[in-house]
């Protein structure tokens, strides 16, 4: 950033009304046990089960509620702390046991688990919370179904401190699906007091008044401005957070977030654009921590319901025309894992994501386009999400320029972030578009379940392939040590290589920037912040 540009954004930041919540504490940043975080996200609910709750609100759930189990942590080679998809640890459940046929899991509740009002967490609370998750509909219900949990009859109270889940089939996804944000445990006694015949699950009450047991409580929420976490000093089932109070400011402008961090009015800046990461690293005054997002890809989606993207050769031509290296260097500023240039047309491993067998080859792209009947190219629209403009805008410009070389003329379509999900994922009406999806459960078949099965939310390309459908259904619950698993996954990846309805650009990083005295940041698959591990050195 040029000095004159920094002075402009710094001046803009200086006139922002600073936090209304105890301004003296905010100004002290973290000197007295207070951590100030700046984020571009705006939460719209404190209840993740409520239909219409947005992605930023997942963060609140992670910090104020507990689950039966959680994923552990690991330290990467560069010292970054990341969640560990292979390690499942106790949270409210102190132990669990599978039945011999693997169709039931019995959990023992930790007697130390207490809700904020001091009442013990029981199996009745777990059942009510799980019944709620599978009954309210929307994303939470679909996510529970991925773990083979869809019917309240599957959730059994054995006794006050013993809870059992029965599944119709043995599934490798059931236990890890209990560690994602969705199956959080609510104080059912409090919630039932505020339920009504029209609102039996107390969605209106829990929307603004959480009833949890987690390491933090919500002390304040000013919609569109800030929310404040306050430490639960009676937390006993895990390490008590080091930070007493966490203030999360909602600052839409990335340049203003950066200015607030650089002048030390903020301690931590989440979801940092790649350009800022590069410059922070070069300057050395701000600490950056980040890791590749598991099971996640930035892609160019080609909607097969729209001509000429129903033609496989057209899709392959575009895959050969893309300027991958420029996108990774100029669009992602190097903060991404390479997903192009594989030497073989068939996968040799089931690692996912893995590079596709395409690289920039304009002559090959022209030949394929001619074979498809489009020697002179065609005109189309490339849509992108203004809410992710930091990477999507430069990427869209690079793609526009590159495809011009093979005769494809592109008009850029900028869609406001608030409208993106409806246009791209619900209505699936964008012919060519930039998209991002990361599967919460770190298995390739889980990614294909969401992004390649027809009708599923993240299949924004309207792609349908009967062989792919069969392979996904076959593998989704299969154990990875089954001899058929590797063979089937390789077939799925080979189909994705060949058909390319989604052209991978790179695997993105999730980055956070912070003052040098902030430690304990961890990178998570859900891309939200776990405040419980943060501390000041």
Q: In what order do the strands lie in the sheet with 155-159?
A: 93-98, 104-109, 162-166, 155-159
Length of the chain in terms of residues written: 537
> Token match 């007493």: residue?
244
Closest C-alpha among 413, 407, 409, 394 to residue 506: 394
Q: Between the CA of residue 200 and those of 65, 191, 205, 384, what are the distances in Å?
A: 20, 9, 11, 39
Q: What is the largest CA-CA distance in the chain?
A: 72
Mean pLDDT computed over 11-32: 44
Report DSSP state, residue 120.
B
Mean pLDDT computed over 466-492: 97
pLDDT for position 142 = 87
Mean pLDDT computed over 34-41: 92
pLDDT for position 236 = 95
pLDDT for position 16 = 43
CA atoms within 13 A on the CB side of 145: 13
Mean pLDDT computed over 381-397: 93
Mean pLDDT computed over 62-90: 95
Helix (H, G, I), strand (E, B) or coil at 100: coil
Fold of 34-249+515-536: D-Maltodextrin-Binding Protein; domain 2 (3.40.190)
CA atoms within 13 A on the CB side of 415: 21
The whole-model pTM stands at: 0.88
pLDDT for position 12 = 43
Report DSSP state, residue 421.
I
Weakest-pLDDT range from 185-194, 222-231, 308-317: 222-231
Helix spans in 338-416 (H): 362-371, 389-404
pLDDT for position 523 = 93
**In the chain, where are the structural domains located?**
34-249+515-536, 296-509
Report d(CA 325, CA 506) in Å as an integer: 10
Asked if residues 124 and 160 have their Cβ atoms less than 8 Å apart, the reply is: yes
Mean pLDDT computed over 320-328: 97
Asked if residues 246 and 240 have their Cβ atoms less than 8 Å apart, the reply is: no
pLDDT for position 464 = 97
Tabulate helix, strand, coil % of the chain (nearest 5).
35, 25, 40
pLDDT for position 8 = 44
pLDDT for position 54 = 85
Mean pLDDT computed over 463-471: 98
Weakest-pLDDT range from 14-23, 120-129, 217-226: 14-23
Mean pLDDT computed over 300-310: 97
Give the class (CATH, top level) of 296-509.
alpha beta
Higher pLDDT, 11 or 460: 460
CA 146 from centre of chain: 16
**Cβ-proximal residues to 187 (8 Å cutoff; 6+ apart), any chain:** 115, 116, 117, 119, 121, 125, 211, 212, 213
Report d(CA 508, CA 386) in Å as an integer: 17
Closest C-alpha among 381, 380, 388 to residue 421: 388
Report DSSP state, residue 114.
B
Report d(CA 323, CA 325) in Å as an integer: 6
pLDDT for position 209 = 96
Structure token pair of residue 433: 């578009």
Of all residues in the chain, the percent with pLDDT exceeding 70 is 94
pLDDT for position 31 = 55
Asked if residues 506 and 298 have their Cβ atoms less than 8 Å apart, the reply is: yes
Mean pLDDT computed over 306-316: 97
Report d(CA 286, CA 516) in Å as an integer: 6
Q: What are phi and psi of 34, to 5 degrees?
A: -115, 135
Residues β-bridged to residue 82: 74, 523
pLDDT for position 32 = 65
Report d(CA 271, CA 286) in Å as an integer: 15
Strand 268-270 relative to strand 216-222, pairing:
unpaired
**pLDDT exceeds cutoff 70 at 21:** no
Mean pLDDT computed over 279-298: 94
Mean pLDDT computed over 256-273: 95
pLDDT for position 440 = 94
CA atoms within 13 A on the CB side of 43: 27
CA end-to-end span of the chain: 29
**pLDDT exceeds cutoff 90 at 451:** yes
pLDDT tens-digit readout, 136-164: 998 899 899 999 999 999 999 999 999 99
Q: C-alpha angle with apex 234: 229 to 238, nearest 5 degrees?
A: 85
pLDDT tens-digit readout, 109-133: 999 999 999 999 999 999 999 999 9
């Amino acid at each position: 950033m040029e000095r004159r540009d920094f002075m402009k954004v710094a001046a803009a930041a200086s006139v922002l009304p600073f936090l209304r919540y105890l301004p003296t504490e905010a100004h002290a940043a973290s000197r007295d046990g207070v951590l100030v975080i700046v984020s571009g996200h705006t939460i719209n609910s404190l209840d993740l089960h409520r239909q219409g709750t947005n992605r930023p609100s997942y963060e609140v759930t992670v910090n104020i509620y507990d689950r039966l189990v959680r994923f552990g942590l690991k330290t990467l080679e560069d010292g970054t702390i990341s969640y560990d998809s292979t390690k499942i640890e106790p949270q409210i459940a102190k132990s669990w046991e599978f039945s011999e046929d693997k169709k039931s899991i019995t959990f023992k509740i930790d007697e130390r688990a207490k809700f904020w009002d001091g009442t013990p967490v029981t199996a009745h609370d777990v059942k009510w919370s799980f019944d709620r998750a599978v009954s309210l509909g929307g994303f939470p219900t679909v996510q529970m179904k991925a773990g083979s949990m869809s019917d309240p009859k599957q959730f059994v109270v054995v006794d006050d401190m013993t809870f059992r889940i029965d599944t119709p089939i043995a599934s490798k996804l059931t236990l890890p699906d209990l560690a994602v944000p969705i199956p959080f445990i609510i104080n059912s006694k409090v919630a039932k007091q505020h339920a009504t015949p029209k609102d039996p699950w107390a969605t209106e009450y829990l929307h603004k008044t959480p009833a949890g047991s987690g390491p933090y409580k919500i002390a304040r929420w000013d919609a569109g401005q800030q929310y404040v976490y306050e430490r639960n000093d009676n937390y006993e089932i895990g390490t008590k957070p080091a930070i007493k109070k966490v203030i999360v400011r909602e600052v839409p402008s990335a340049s203003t977030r950066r200015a607030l961090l650089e002048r030390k009015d903020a301690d931590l800046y989440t979801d940092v654009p790649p350009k800022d990461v590069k410059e922070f690293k070069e300057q050395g005054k701000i600490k950056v921590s980040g890791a590749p997002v598991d099971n996640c890809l930035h892609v160019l989606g080609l909607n097969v319901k729209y001509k000429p993207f129903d033609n496989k050769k057209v899709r392959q031509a575009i895959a050969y025309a893309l300027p991958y290296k420029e996108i990774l260097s100029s669009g992602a500023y190097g903060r991404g894992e390479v997903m192009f240039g594989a030497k073989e047309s068939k996968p040799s491993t089931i690692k996912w994501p893995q590079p596709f067998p395409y690289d920039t080859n304009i002559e090959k792209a022209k030949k394929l386009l001619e074979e498809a009947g489009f020697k002179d190219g065609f005109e189309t629209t490339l849509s992108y999400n203004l809410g992710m403009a930091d990477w999507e805008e430069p990427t869209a410009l690079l793609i526009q320029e590159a495809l011009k070389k093979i005769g494809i003329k592109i008009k850029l379509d900028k869609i406001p972030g608030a409208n993106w999900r409806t246009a791209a994922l619900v209505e699936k009406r964008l012919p060519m578009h930039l998209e991002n999806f990361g599967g919460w459960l770190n298995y390739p078949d889980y990614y294909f379940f969401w992004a390649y099965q027809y009708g599923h939310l993240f299949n924004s390309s309207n792609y349908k392939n009967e062989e792919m459908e069969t392979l996904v259904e076959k593998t989704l619950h299969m154990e990875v040590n089954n001899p058929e698993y590797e063979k089937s996954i390789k077939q799925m990846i080979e189909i994705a290589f060949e058909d390319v309805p989604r052209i991978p650009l790179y695997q993105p990083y999730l980055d956070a920037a912070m003052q040098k005295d902030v430690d304990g940041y961890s990178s998570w698959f859900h891309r939200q912040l776990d405040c419980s591990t943060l501390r000041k050195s």
